[in-house]
């Protein structure tokens, strides 16, 4: 089997997987057009947040709705860039990269799990899991073996050829976990991973995620206490800032 990149390739236990320093992210909302007398309103979603994530850590991002959790998560994943401050992902300052370079960095180093699974309905579980390896140019045999290995690890050995529509919500999220891990990324990002699942299914999915993401750092945003309970530590946000009051 072709050798897949190891998470330790570019980072060691002491090197952060991702680091945000004095991060500010502002969004400009509509209005403020050519004929408008007023400037477009600006929302500051994050106001000077710093966070360092190390390999092997499971870090929760908590806070009320609108506190900036998704914004921080997207920045740490390299999906977005800060208005000011820096995000260093796998040793690279993402602000200095083009969108294309960021996409390549994400493909290699980041696995993302969404609340609504985001699987491709027309593809089997195995093809969904193998998809990131297609983009990385791995051969068919390696892709199949790797996808089968991961589906077995998430307990879906018997569901390899099922399509997402033939799977339960919990099973779909397990496929999404397998897909997030398929490239052996150094960082796994999960945005409300249990938001669509009932309590006991959510608990099993979280245990599995923490269990199989071993060397990887996992950062998960949630307002679900059950999800936060599996984390080694929690970054609490309030109004775009780190809340140190708790």
63 binds ligand ADP (CB under 6 A): yes
Which residue number, 63 or 170, has a Cβ lying nearer to ligand ADP?
Answer: 63
Candidates 23, 71, 78, 224; binder of ligand ADP (CB under 6 A) is: 71
How would you list the strands of the sheet with 233-238, edge to edge?
110-113, 187-191, 217-221, 58-62, 233-238, 241-242
Which residue number, 29 or 37, has a Cβ lying nearer to ligand ADP?
Answer: 29
In contact, 45 and 68? CB cutoff 8 Å: yes
Which residue number, 62 or 178, has a Cβ lying nearer to ligand ADP?
Answer: 62
In contact, 207 and 229? CB cutoff 8 Å: no
20 binds ligand ADP (CB under 6 A): no
65 binds ligand ADP (CB under 6 A): yes
Rounded Cα distance, 140 and 123, in Å: 15
Measured on CA atoms in the order 145, 101, 106, 168, is the torsion positive or negative? negative
R_g (Cα) of the chain, nearest Å: 19
69 binds ligand ADP (CB under 6 A): yes
Binding residues for ligand ADP, how many (CB under 6 A)?
12
Candidates 1, 40, 43, 134; binder of ligand ADP (CB under 6 A) is: 43
Which residue number, 150 or 189, has a Cβ lying nearer to ligand ADP?
Answer: 189
């Amino acid at each position: 089997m072709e050798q897949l990149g190891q998470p330790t390739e570019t980072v060691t236990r002491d090197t952060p997987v991702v680091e945000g320093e004095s991060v500010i992210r502002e969004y400009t909302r509509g209005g403020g057009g050519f004929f408008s007398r007023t400037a477009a309103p600006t929302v500051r979603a994050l106001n000077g947040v710093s966070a360092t994530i190390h390999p092997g850590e499971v870090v929760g991002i908590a806070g009320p709705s609108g506190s900036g959790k998704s914004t921080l998560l997207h920045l740490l994943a390299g999906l977005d860039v800060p208005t000011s401050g820096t995000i260093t992902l796998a040793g690279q300052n993402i602000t200095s990269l083009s969108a294309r370079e960021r996409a390549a960095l994400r493909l290699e180093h980041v696995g993302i799990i969404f609340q609504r699974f985001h699987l491709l309905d027309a593809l089997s579980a195995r093809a969904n899991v193998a998809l990131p390896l297609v983009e990385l140019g791995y051969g068919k045999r390696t892709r199949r073996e790797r996808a089968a290995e991961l589906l077995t690890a998430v307990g879906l050995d018997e569901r390899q050829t099922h399509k997402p529509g033939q799977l339960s919500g919990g099973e779909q999220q397990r496929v999404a976990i397998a897909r997030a891990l398929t490239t052996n990324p150094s960082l796994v990002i999960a945005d409300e991973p249990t938001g669509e699942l009932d309590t006991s299914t959510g608990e099993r999915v979280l245990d599995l995620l923490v269990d199989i993401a071993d060397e990887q750092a996992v950062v998960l945003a949630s307002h679900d206490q059950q999800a936060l309970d599996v984390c080694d530590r929690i970054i609490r946000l309030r109004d775009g800032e780190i809340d140190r009051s708790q």
